[in-house]
DNA sequence: CAATGTGAAACCATTCACAGCA
DNA sequence: TGCTGTGAATGGTTTCACATTG
């Protein structure tokens, strides 16, 4: 009676019907990063479980969604698995997903300076601040621009993601501008709710917001 | 045949069986914070939906889990609702949940300085760094201690939550120490997986980790 | 035998649909 | 009429259980 009452999971060879549920997607992408840091050549689902804290059945199911078969009774080939996840989600194996930091107050500047921030497949391409003095005075290996140029630079530098560390009261305003530029996702270090259209990702990472969530654990 | 095939949701007056699902719990706590900033005396589920981006039915259901009835056909009484959420989750109405920042590098220091960080029900009670010089040199309105004193200070200051901004390679080591102190939850600004026993909350808020999750959106 | 692969069951969360109330 | 309260239906994710395979 209802179309698709079965899980709709097959990755058919012609590319249709390869829907993977959101929780699985997130785990898989995270797993890919982890596999990249691994020296072992083969890993079992149990080993991955130990490493991630996830249940081993869930890991097997996630991998099953990919539609590959490179593991039976020996564990999975780390390189093959990682490559397949990258292929499935369009993750570049070399670092080409550009992102920017908007708002160079204490937090934003710290993020800029933090050497570890460019890593894996992400590449910090720019910083923005509304205070033009600040973008001129701050020293950074990353190019800094006034927020005036936000739209132009996001286009020209092919920036896909933004880290938002502006004052709370400007958060929604900047978000709207980012959305209009076609940003794919925002890491929200402010402690406000952001409203974005469907299709734009938001992850709330502000200290208070996150602490708040944790109270309910 | 199976015990509890019904949703197990009733808050009975004698306090048993008041299980609330995790997603609802998180939303409710977040909602309480928001209600605290509201000037209106009554709010409908639709208004809350507009404010949060959540579906209005989900909000009504969440409130339903609380087992109170203060809304019919008029919207909910903001103060009553907020008080009830606080009571249910043991949230202090005044700011008494103490937390600390561990690791005072760029990011940690920025978090310390960030004025907005103490707010709502959370109170920044201490900062820790393994570099004793740094804890002496840094100026801050928050007391700073060497990480040596972590255990002692967490006890004496009644610290419940920790913000982790140490270098990645120290993350698990510090986490283990925090767990042994009975910490309730950790906001993880490093980009590592933390392994903690059941009952301790972890929320990953490191830029790369969060960007990674977002790729799969 | 210890691993994956996988249909089916169980579980959990969201949404529908509507009764009842101000 | 517009709101909450709520049983029931739906939809989605995890887990079980076991056949299969190296």
Provide the residue count of chain A. Answer: 217
Facing A193 at nearest CB: one of B53, B214, B215:
B53
Q: How distant, in Å, are the alpha carbons of A91, A111, B143 from that of A143?
A: 24, 14, 35
Residue B79 token pair: 């103060």
A189 vs A208: CA distance, rounded Å: 9
Given this model, what pLDDT does residue A94 score?
A: 64
**B 41-80 near A (Cβ less than 8 A):** 51-53
- Which residues of chain B (99-138) touch nucleic strand D at CB < 7 A? none
Q: Give the model confidence (pLDDT) of A159-180 as tens digits.
A: 999 999 999 999 999 999 999 9
Q: From the centroid of its chain, how far is CA A9?
A: 23
A184 vs A179: CA distance, rounded Å: 8
- Which residues of chain A (67-106) touch nucleic strand D at CB < 7 A? 72-74
Strand D–CB A6 distance below 7 A? no
With H, G, I as helix, E, B as strand and everything else as coil, classify residue B181. Answer: coil
Angle between helices A22-36 and B207-215 (to 10 degrees): 130
Please list the rounded mean pLDDT of every run of 10 residues in chain A (217 residues): 32 52 94 90 95 94 92 90 93 81 96 72 93 90 95 97 96 96 96 86 92 85
Q: Are B24 and B55 in contact (CB under 8 A)?
A: no
Q: Which nucleotide, over all strands, has the C1' atom closest to the CA of A10?
A: C6
Which protein residue has its CA closest to C1' of D2? B73
**B 157-216 near A (Cβ less than 8 A):** 161, 163, 167-168, 184-185, 187, 191, 193, 195, 201, 203, 205, 207-216
Task: With a cut of 70, list the residues of chain B below it in pLDDT.
Answer: 1-18, 94-95, 115-119
Facing B213 at nearest CB: one of A29, A113, A214:
A29
Candidates A32, A37, A209, A216, partner chain B, best to mutate (most B CBs within 10 A): A216
Nucleotides of C under 7 A from a protein CB: 1-7, 10-17, 20-22
B83 vs B36: CA distance, rounded Å: 10
Q: Which residues of A touch B159 (CB under 8 A)?
A: none
Q: Are B121 and B161 in contact (CB under 8 A)?
A: no
Facing B26 at nearest CB: one of A111, A205, A213:
A213
CA-nearest residue of chain A to B200?
A217
Given this model, what pLDDT does residue B59 score?
A: 97
B97 vs B81: CA distance, rounded Å: 20
**B 77-116 near A (Cβ less than 8 A):** 89, 91, 97, 99, 105-107, 109-111, 113-114, 116
Q: Which residues of A touch B107 (CB under 8 A)?
A: 107, 110-111, 114
How do strand B76-77 and strand B42-43 relate by DSSP bridges? antiparallel
Whole-structure pTM value: 0.86
Q: Which protein residues have any CB–strand C distance under 7 A?
A: A 44-46, 56-57, 60-61, 63-64, 68-76; B 2, 5, 7, 21-24, 55, 57-58, 61, 72-74
What's the CA B55/C1' C15 distance, rounded, in angstroms? 9
Shortest alpha-carbon distance between residue B77 and chain A (Å): 22
**B 125-144 near A (Cβ less than 8 A):** none
Given this model, what pLDDT does residue B18 score?
A: 64
Given this model, what pLDDT does residue B157 score?
A: 97
Q: Which residue has the tokens 């589920």?
A: B45
Facing B211 at nearest CB: one of A22, A113, A187:
A187
A185 - beta bridge partners? A161, A201
């Amino acid at each position: 009676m209802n179309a698709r009452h079965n899980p709709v999971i097959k990755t058919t060879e012609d590319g249709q019907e390869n829907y993977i549920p959101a929780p699985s997607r997130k785990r898989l992408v995270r797993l890919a990063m982890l596999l990249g840091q691994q020296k072992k050549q083969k890993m079992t689902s149990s080993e991955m479980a130990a490493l991630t804290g996830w249940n081993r059945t869930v890991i097997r199911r996630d991998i099953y969604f990919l539609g590959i078969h490179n593991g039976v009774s020996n564990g999975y080939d780390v390189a093959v698995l990682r490559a397949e996840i990258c292929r499935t989600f369009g993750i570049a194996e070399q670092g080409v997903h550009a992102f920017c930091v908007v708002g160079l107050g204490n937090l934003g500047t710290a993020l800029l300076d933090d050497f570890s921030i460019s890593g894996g497949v992400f590449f910090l391409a720019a910083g923005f601040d509304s205070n033009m003095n600040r973008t001129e005075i701050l020293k950074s290996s990353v190019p800094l621009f006034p927020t005036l140029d936000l739209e132009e630079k996001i286009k020209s530098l092919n920036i896909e993601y933004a880290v938002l560390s502006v004052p709370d009261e400007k958060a929604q305003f900047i978000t709207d501008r980012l959305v209009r530029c076609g940003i794919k996702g925002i890491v929200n270090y402010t402690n406000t709710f952001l409203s974005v259209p469907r299709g734009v990702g938001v992850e709330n990472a502000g200290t208070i917001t996150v602490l708040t969530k944790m109270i309910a654990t």
